[in-house]
Amino acid sequence: MSQRSFIEARSIDYVPLAERHGKVWHLWPVWFTGDAHLATIATGAVGMALGGNLAWMVIAVLIGSALGTFFMAFHSTQGPQLGLPQMIQSRPQFGYMGALLVWAVALVTYIGFNAFNQLLAADTLTTLYGSDRQITMPIVGVVAALLAVVGYDWIHRIQRILAFILIAGLAVMTVAVATSAHFEPAQLYLGDFKPVPFLVQVFAAASYQIAWSVYVSDYSRYLPRDVGVAASFWWTYLGAYIGGSWTMLVGTVAAAMFPTLGLTPALRAAADQLLPGSGTPLLIASLLGLVTITTLNFYGASLTLLSVADSIKPIKATAMKRVATIALSLVVSVALALTASKDFVHTFSEFLAILLYLFTPWTAINLVDFYWVRRGRYSVREIFNPYGMYGRWNWRGLVAYAVGFLSMVPFFSTQVFTGPIARMIGGADVAMMVGLPVSTIVYLLACRSLDVEAEARQAALADVGLDPA
Average pLDDT rounded to a whole number, residues 132-143? 90
Interatomic CA distance for residues 113 and 28, integer angstroms = 21
Please compute the mean of the pLDDT values over residues 230-258 and round it to a whole number. 93
At residue 1, the pLDDT reads 43
3-state DSSP assignment of residue 460: helix
Average pLDDT score, the chain: 88
Q: Does the pLDDT of residue 345 top 70, yes or no?
A: no
- Render pLDDT for 71-88 as a digit per residue (tens, 0 to 9): 999 999 999 999 999 889
For the segment 363-372, what is each residue's pLDDT rounded down to a tens digit?
Answer: 999 999 999 9
- When pLDDT is averaged across residues 90-110 and rounded to a whole number, the result is 90
- pLDDT greater than 70 at residue 209: yes
The pTM assigned to this predicted structure is 0.88
Quote the CA–CA distance of 154 and 407 in Å, as a whole number: 42
Report the pLDDT value the prediction gives residue 349, as an integer from 0 to 100: 64
Distances 82 to 33, 193, 221, 300, 429 between C-alpha atoms, Å: 25, 45, 7, 17, 35
Least confident of 16-20, 232-236, 247-251, 414-418: 414-418
User: If phi over 0 gives left and psi between -120 and 50 gives alpha, with beta otherwise, what is residue 375?
Assistant: left
CB 347 within 8 A of CB 341: yes
Confidence band, pLDDT 50/70/90 cuts, at residue 469? low
What mean pLDDT do residues 446-462 have?
A: 95
Question: 373-388, pLDDT tens digit by residue?
Answer: 999 999 999 999 999 9
> What is the average pLDDT across 255-264?
78
Q: Which domains does the chain possess? A: 20-358 (1.10.4160.10)
Look at residue 396 in the predicted model and tell me its pLDDT.
97
